[in-house]
Amino acid sequence: MRTDGVEPAPPTAGIVQRPVRDAGRPAVQRVTIRDVASLAGVSVATVSNALNRPSIVAPDTLERVQEAIARTGFVRSTAAGQLRGGKSRTVGVVVLDLANPFFTDMVRGAEDVLRKHGYMLMVCSSDESTEQELHYLRLLEEHRVDGLLITPAGHELREIAKLAAYGVPTVLLDRDANDEALCSVTVDDIRGGQLAAHHLLELGHADIAFVNGPATIRQCADRREGAMTAVRAKGRRPRRDVVFREIEVPALTADHGERAVGALLALEPRPTAVICANDLLALGVLKGLASARLAPPEDLAVVGYDDVTFASMLSPALTSVRQPKYELGATAARLLVEEATGGAHEHRSIRFEPELVVRASSRAPRAIRP
């Protein structure tokens, strides 16, 4: 029975009614820097120095402040620190597709380095959209991130370079900086495309398809260029011409890979092998072939790109061009920390070499198999 004379509404069957806290007022008041200063017997400025510049605080005072923080459970607010122009201790990361294990492996490498330097990540997915990328660049700027790791969604780097010009250390992930004053960490995708095509040519395939993402994505353009270079080299030999046909899909996802199978099988004559611009496309192609009751590699040899974790677990296990995903992210993070900590830093591009991992999804074409 309530004492204010107002009868509580009878509980509705099945719904447990609980008294609602005053909306908008926290149940427990957050510990503030003033509470810590009062308990430690020092000024608020001394607590702020103990947090941000402990080296200028007397050891015994620092110990008293640290003990007061431990006893009250005080958690500093970076937002307050930012208002005074402090560091957010946050690094923004923008990748093309968070659902792609290539990027999550790369982000994991970056996180393991940045965590050791006291940073946390704000990870965003541009979904291969330059508009969505710009939206996140604006939000990360508002959050005053201390650094940016980004795989650009388009050729244009102007907006990214603008953030770097504001003094935000920026490193391009899986993309060259061209002539922008930015660090970058990449893999030689032209070489990767060559490895994939050369492998199939050496198996005896003379009719190869390429399921590729949009040419606006530099990695896709480079892989195609590399594959064409290998095909042209092979085509010069007296043995035979090599047919190389590209099927471009709107995005580098398994769904678009599966949908590409219809176009693949409609090619006349049907290719004996297919290179996919990444392992998600290859996963989709394998699914589409299974739906068409076709079995790789007998009916179509399949080669992917990235060598993500699931590549070796597929049936047949996927031949793929391996990229050092974790190292890409870790290296980019080390470049960013070097630049952010104000030490001697010069922008540089670090390039890794891809490696072909041959598995069961690629074999010689039936026609020339012994």
For residues 159 and 130, the answer to whether their CB atoms sit within 8 Å is no
Q: How many CB atoms lie within 10 A of CB 92?
A: 25
Separation CA 33–CA 44 (nearest Å): 6
CB of 217 to ligand RIB, least distance (A): 5
Yes or no: say if 326 and 223 are a contact pair by the CB < 8 Å rule: no
Alpha helix stretches (DSSP H) within 90-157: 101-116, 130-142
CA distance 350 to 116: 22
Instruction: Please say which residue, 151 or 194, places its beta carbon nearer to ligand RIB.
Output: 151
Shortest distance, position 120 Cβ to ligand RIB, whole Å: 24
Q: Whose Cβ is closer to ligand RIB: residue 228's or residue 254's?
A: 254
Residue 174 Cβ, how far from ligand RIB at the closest point, in Å?
5
Q: DSSP state, 4?
A: T
Residue showing tokens 């993309």: 175
Enumerate binding residues for ligand RIB (CB under 6 A).
Answer: 96, 100, 102, 151, 174, 217, 219, 252, 278, 305-306
Closest CA to 223 of 152, 276, 300, 286: 276
- Could you check whether the bond before residue 316 is cis, i.e. omega within 30 degrees of 0? yes
Contact by Cβ (8 Å): 184, 176: yes
Minimum Å gap between C-beta 104 and ligand RIB is 11
| Burial group, residue 229, by CB count within 10 angstroms (0-12, 13-18, 19+) | middle
Q: In the bound complex, what is the minimum distance in angstroms from residue 95's beta carbon to ligand RIB?
A: 8
**What are 91's two structure tokens?**
């690094």
Between 42 and 187, name the residue whose CB sits nearer to ligand RIB: 187
- Residue 229, H or E segment: helix 218-235
Kindly tell me which of 52 and 216 has the beta carbon lying closer to ligand RIB.
216
Q: How near is the Cβ of 252 to ligand RIB at its closest, in Å? A: 4
Ranked by CB distance to ligand RIB, the top (closest) residue is 278
What span, in angstroms and rounded, lies between the C-alpha atoms of 342 and 171?
15
Q: Exposed e or buried b for every residue in 320-359, given b needs 16+ CB within 10 A?
A: bbbbbbebbbbbbbbbbbbbbeeeeeebebeebebebbeb
- The type of residue at 308 is V
Q: How far is the CB of 281 from ligand RIB (least distance, A)?
A: 8
CB of residue 320 to ligand RIB, shortest distance in Å: 10
